[in-house]
Amino acid sequence: MKFIGILGGTFNPIHHGHLRIAQEIAEAVNLDHVKFIPSANPPHKAPPQVTAQQRAEMVQLAIQDNPLFSMDIRELERTGPSYTIDTLKSLRREHRHATFCLILGADAFAYYDQWHEWESILNYCHLVLVPRPNTTNSLTLNPRLNAVLQQHGTQDILQLTQQQNGCIIQLTVTALEISSSKIRTMIAQHKSAIYLTPPAVMHYLQQHQLYQI
């Protein structure tokens, strides 16, 4: 049975923080591989200022040397908002017996109950929550999400392999204080973002003059 990680996002642009999280979660949970899924039309963010195709091309450049990683462009091929539940349903149709682990920043989980059809998501996957840099594993949640965490939370990684979906686990990873917004700001200010993102992505950014003002 395949054990697949899912890391979605705008990747605007992708950086070493994304890659390190995926690598450490894959090793901690013993994933077969991690799918990077660029969001075409993120429902909770302003539209990215570069195209979905450009963001996908940067993801491919960033992960091309790691056999553990692959890119999945199904959200780029759909119209309308890039809802996570639609992606999970589509993945389940293709991989009936796989176990999916949706990797999510712990801060994003604080707004999880605002997601489209959020109550159905755990029917298709486990949630792996990772803290942002300079934060703790302690989550500040509303009563509804506290109840969800109490019902589905586990500290046992093995439980993720013993059931196909429905668990929420918090794992600590190396906290690289890098953000896509910081990279965009640095480039707009004509500062170098070297070492924050892979060299192939840096070359792409320079070649296409992305995020420059």
| Helices 52-63 and 199-208, packing angle to 10 deg | 150
| Spatial strand order in the sheet of 33-38 | 69-71, 33-38, 3-9, 99-105, 126-130, 168-170
Hey, is 173 helix, strand or coil?
Answer: coil
Dihedral sign from CA coordinates of 150, 153, 155, 156:
positive
Q: Are 128 and 169 in contact (CB under 8 A)?
A: yes
Looking at residue 137, its pLDDT comes to 59
What's the pLDDT score for residue 136?
A: 58
**Tens of pLDDT along 53-84?**
999 999 999 999 999 999 999 999 999 999 99
Which tokens go with 150?
Answer: 């109490």
pLDDT at position 94 is 96
Domains for the chain: give ranges and CATH numbers. Answer: 3-175 (3.40.50.620)
What is the pLDDT at residue 134? 65
Quote the tokens at residue 85. Answer: 């539940």
pLDDT at position 159, please? 96
* Beta pairing class for 168-170 and 126-130: parallel
Q: What is the pLDDT at residue 43?
A: 78
Which residues, given as ranges, of the chain have pLDDT below 70? 134-138
What is the reported pLDDT for 170? 95
Query: Which of 118, 49, 123, 52 shows the shortest CA–CA distance to 84?
Result: 118
Q: What pTM, to 2 d.p., does this model score?
A: 0.94
Contact yes or no for 175/131 (Cβ under 8 A): yes
